[in-house]
Amino acid sequence: METPVQSSRSRVPLLAACVVGATAFALYLPALRGEFVFDDPVYVRSNPYIQSLSVDTVRWALTESHHGNWHPITWMSHALDVALFGENPVGHHVVSLLVHAVNSALLLLLLARMTGRVWPAAFVAAVFAMHPLQVESVAWISERKTLLCTMFSLLCLLAYVAYARRPGPARYALVFVSLLAALMSKQMAVTIPCLLLLLDYWPLHRFSLRAVLEKVPLLLLSVAASWMAWNTQQTGRAVTPLSIIGLDLRVANIVLSLSRYVGKLIVPVRLSPLYPYPGMEAPPWPAGITLTCTVLVLGMCVLAFVLVRRAPWLFVGWFWFVGMLVPVLGIVQIGRQAMADRFMYLPAVGLLIVLVGCADVLLGRRRWVGPSPSEPVDQPFASESTVEAFAPGRSGPPSAAPAILALLLLAGCCVLTVRQIGVWHDNETFWRHVLALAPGSPTARFGLAGTLIRKSAGDEQDACFTEARSLLEDAIALEKDQYQHIKMRIHLAELLSRKRLYEEAIPHLEFLVEKAPQEAAYRGLLAFNQEQAAPLAVADAERNRLQESARANYLWALGMRAPTETMADIHGHYAAFLSRAGLIDEGIAEYRRAIGLYPTQKLYLALIATLERTGRQAEAGEARRQMEFRFPGASAASPASP
């Protein structure tokens, strides 16, 4: 029967977990003011596949990838948010904050359960909850996948601790299912089976051949998830080829990023949503720094092995950190970043274990270590005597000086975290922060330009347009990847076209057509700009050349394959071209083809206006009735050409 003292002690971890979780939620309340930032609109708000929570949504989430990702649990989470909150970002943020709070509480319970030391576990969980490195994962709505993956990973670890204490099929099944859920949230959990082996050594002290064999089904699950991640990222064109980032740069970046992650955890300054890749979007690091980082990383690995018996927490904590980062260290480079704060969400725990262990040694406590790993593997964690030895609260609360220092460190983390949350308030704030820290990055310039393009209005001299154009031109000059270069060119061409600078847009579109001759959208836009530039030409010969070239490019584009909406747009522009050229009947026929492909109110208005100008009132009336049937409330009062 549990005594009152034991009952009180057993409640300490739970109460501490509640406090840490509530503090984490309160700290991130400023994130509720944030908008949909970066790729949130494409990923969540405008994602057509998650606009309703239905059987079809579940089927799509389980069988398809989107935006280079297959993570059905994450997609269903976002679909539920959309069903509950629609396009209001506050609700989406609230869910992310709740998951982060749960993760913080689960981490405390896990560490306290494994080591029997509540206060060190509480400190690690508090730093995890409050550190500014975590802001990216919590304040960025699209990073729900990291939060959910971590939640299921922690549940998997807790289930494994229960299994280690009293093995059984049901408990092992719970471990398996939890890992599956983590992998279905984000494939970064593929190294969890290896982490379980580390925990078998310390603090569970059950490492053996049997423990290794237990991991085989889990490893097979991770291999399948790794293949799925590779396949979907390749399909989504997210894998950067070796021709862009060579193997030498990748190996150098591994040691550099590991060293930088340690530095960012200890001194969390100059945190950015984008760290440009050295040698690609940023100058290469000096050879001396690369060599120093290599020596430090390898030296730390050697030290962890040398002290594995005397300081198992060092071995486990360091390889928790390194091992969980393996999928995102860049041997297979996904995206264009050298490193990312979000990648440290759960790996940071390993470094925190090391720091707490070092503090214990410096304070002469050495209680983080627990029983010696040399004890028989069939005894320790499963035995009731060991569980009692690890009883929560046994070591008592920390003394005053360490407690005060810990509180000061947490207070500093809170201040920096609140400041970093502000970076994620809106797109312009986000990209200006990125550009300030990475002024040579074409991606940063392209991102800020896109934000300013959406803001630009008025005449061609307005500040947003001028800055956006300058940023795009600089980004094009800096960009090395042809695919990204083409994307930037098309954005600049569309911006110039929208501002009626047709003659300036034409050279960019001719470049695009040369690089991608089978892209119907490029030819269609080139034809439109040539058509609009023709009346501005001074010489008759130039005017006629532009008109003929425009017609030829329209016909080229219409003979190609492209998405239905793109083809409808090209048909609509060609219809307007024919109508202005006096070929009214041909123009009307093109409008009807465009509407047949992808009906829009704008196309109907243009068709109605053309029919009315030629006295075909009955046909115009019929077209108006069709438009009002498809678009209730639509009016033909302000016809416009597509």
> Is the pLDDT assigned to residue 640 strictly greater than 70?
no
How far is C-alpha 416 from the chain's CA centre?
A: 22
> Is the pLDDT assigned to residue 317 strictly greater than 60?
yes
Which SS3 state, helix, strand or coil, does residue 282 take? strand
Distance (Å, whole) CA 346 – CA 154: 9
Res. 1 pLDDT band, cuts 50 70 90: very low
Residue of 120, 125, 129 lying closest to 107 (CA atoms): 125
Between 539 and 237, residue with greater pLDDT: 539
Confidence at residue 282, expressed as pLDDT on a 0 to 100 scale: 86
Res. 366 pLDDT band, cuts 50 70 90: low
Confidence at residue 97, expressed as pLDDT on a 0 to 100 scale: 98
Side-chain-side CA neighbours of residue 139 (13 Å): 32
User: For the chain, what percent of residues have pLDDT higher than 90?
Assistant: 73
Length reported for the chain: 642
Contact 509, 493 (CB under 8 A): yes
Mean pLDDT of the 505-530 span: 93
Q: Which of 31-45, 290-304, 412-426, 624-638 has the lowest mean pLDDT?
A: 624-638
Confidence at residue 359, expressed as pLDDT on a 0 to 100 scale: 87
Mean pLDDT of the 108-131 span: 95
Confidence at residue 537, expressed as pLDDT on a 0 to 100 scale: 85
Report the interhelical angle of 169-183 vs 192-201 (nearest 10°). 130
Res. 507 pLDDT band, cuts 50 70 90: very high
Q: Which of 107-111, 433-437, 473-477, 538-542 has the lowest mean pLDDT?
A: 538-542
Confidence at residue 389, expressed as pLDDT on a 0 to 100 scale: 30
Give exposure, 284-315, as e/b (b: 16+ Cβ within 10 Å).
ebeeeebeebbeebeebeeebeeebeebbbbb
Confidence at residue 291, expressed as pLDDT on a 0 to 100 scale: 96
> Is the pLDDT assigned to residue 43 strictly greater than 70?
yes
Contact 166, 382 (CB under 8 A): yes
Q: Is the previous residue joined to 203 through a cis bond, with omega within 30 degrees of 0?
A: yes
> Is the pLDDT assigned to residue 184 strictly greater than 80?
yes
pLDDT tens-digit map of 214-236 = 999 999 999 999 999 888 877 66
Q: Is the dihedral of CA 613, 614, 615, 619 positive or negative?
A: negative
Residue of 111, 17, 116 lying closest to 387 (CA atoms): 116
Question: Which residues, other chains included, contact 207 with Cβ-Cβ below 8 Å and sequence gap of 6+?
Answer: 197, 200, 201, 373, 377
Report the chain's mean pLDDT, rounded to a whole number: 89
> Is the pLDDT assigned to residue 614 strictly greater than 70?
yes
Contact 207, 377 (CB under 8 A): yes
Res. 383 pLDDT band, cuts 50 70 90: very low
Res. 276 pLDDT band, cuts 50 70 90: very high
The domain limits of the chain are 13-422
> Is the pLDDT assigned to residue 186 strictly greater than 90?
yes
Mean pLDDT of the 574-591 span: 92
Residue of 520, 513, 581 lying closest to 547 (CA atoms): 581
Confidence at residue 396, expressed as pLDDT on a 0 to 100 scale: 58
User: For the chain, what percent of residues have pLDDT higher than 70?
Assistant: 90
* Two structure tokens written together for 423: 């970076």
Between 66 and 152, residue with greater pLDDT: 152
Confidence at residue 436, expressed as pLDDT on a 0 to 100 scale: 96
Between 376 and 132, residue with greater pLDDT: 132
Contacts of the segment 259-265: beta carbons below 8 A, 24+ positions apart = 259/293, 259/296, 259/297, 260/339, 261/321, 261/325, 261/339, 261/343, 261/344, 261/347, 261/351, 262/351, 264/133, 264/341, 264/344, 265/131, 265/133, 265/344, 265/348, 265/351, 265/352
> Is the pLDDT assigned to residue 5 strictly greater than 50?
no
Q: Any idea what DSSP says for residue 35? A: -
Confidence at residue 179, expressed as pLDDT on a 0 to 100 scale: 98
> Is the pLDDT assigned to residue 381 strictly greater than 50?
no
* Two structure tokens written together for 504: 């300036």
> Is the pLDDT assigned to residue 339 strictly greater than 80?
yes
> Is the pLDDT assigned to residue 78 strictly greater than 90?
yes
DSSP secondary structure string for all residues of 545-569: HHHHHHHHHHHHHHTS---HHHHHH
